[in-house]
Amino acid sequence: MGLVVHPVLRAPAAAAVVLSTMWALMPSPVSKAATVVTAAPAVAAPIVAAAQKADSFQFPLPTWKPHCLGFGSQWRLCDGTVLRRCAATGAVWLHTGVDIRTGIQPVRAAANGVIVGYTVDPVFKGGVLIKHQTAQGVVLTQYWHVWPRAGFGPGKVVTKGQVFADIANMGSRTHLHFAVFRGDYQPNAWRGALPPTACDGFPAFPNRFVNATTFIKAHLAVAPPTPAAAPLHHCRYAPMGG
């Protein structure tokens, strides 16, 4: 299924709190509907360790079985129910991530980075953004319907493959929504979907989102070179029976 969020970012060291515009399906205003689990501290803890560069990525789950919504799919429940349309045109929004069918299990950081956002929606559970510094610039990975583990909040440095969260229980709709956003943080990086053409104040799909599955596959760690076959004995080798 798609996701609906009322994003509230708790930023790291700068302690900046960014309230994005309300974009969710549910009509209630963000100030009322959003449940912010952690308020920004008056003095944010400094980031003591810089994140390592993200040289490669991995999938956050050990298996990658797509749910009904992929990148660019119309934002509908699996039964076809439309989650959001543009008010003016009626155009159905498009899904920015990939939904992965899964049970409740650990979720791993897709690459070295730092958690830059955590928000909670009463229906759609936790959302996490991790910022990665790559050779091609900053990339954010977005994880929805997860609960961070203790100690994993904004400002926390993570390494590739580190378990930082668990899939949230959403009953028959339990799944991971995973997206890749090219660029540094902006409120739109929380979007689980965007309109096909700019409308209602939202940028057109895909904005800075890219196909998450394609991106990860293209940035997997390069396998170390296969060792050459052990050299044959250089002086006295004789074939069997020879």
- Residue closer to Zn ion, measured from CB, 26 or 44: 26
Q: Which of 6, 10, 177, 219 binds Zn ion (CB under 5 A)?
A: 177
> Is 191 a residue that touches Zn ion (CB under 5 A)?
no
> Which one of the spans 39-47, 70-78, 177-185, 211-219 is the region binding Zn ion (CB under 5 A)?
177-185
What residues numbered 96-125 form the site for Zn ion, per CB under 5 A? 97, 99
Nearer to Zn ion, 95 or 156 (CB): 95
Q: How far apart are CA 95 and CA 195, in angstroms?
A: 9
Q: Which stretch binds Zn ion (CB under 5 A): 34-42, 158-166, 171-179, 228-236?
A: 171-179
Q: Nearer to Zn ion by C-beta: 73 or 133?
A: 73
Nearest-approach distance from CB 95 to Zn ion, in angstroms = 6
Q: Which of the stretches 29-37, 40-48, 91-99, 229-237 binds Zn ion when contact is defined by CB under 5 A?
A: 91-99
Beta-carbon contacts of residue 14 (< 8 Å; ≥ 6 apart): 44
- Closer CB to Zn ion, residue 118 or residue 144? 144
Q: Which residue has the tokens 């700019």?
A: 198
148 versus 192: smaller Cβ distance to Zn ion: 192
The tokens of 40 are what? 């920004």
- Count the site residues for Zn ion by CB under 5 A: 5
Q: How far apart are CB 40 and Zn ion at their closest, in Å?
A: 27
Interface segment toward Zn ion; rule CB under 5 A; list 1-9, 156-164, 207-215, 217-225: 1-9
Q: How far is the CB of 214 from Zn ion (least distance, A)?
A: 16
Which of these segments, 44-52, 146-154, 169-177, 223-231, binds Zn ion (CB under 5 A)?
169-177
Unique residue bearing structure tokens 């119309």: 74
Q: Is 18 exposed, middle or buried (0-12, 13-18, 19+ CB in 10 A)?
A: middle
Measured distance CA(31)–CA(6) in Å, rounded = 9
Closest residue to Zn ion using C-beta atoms: 177
- Provide the binding-site residues for Zn ion, judged by CB under 5 A: 2-3, 97, 99, 177
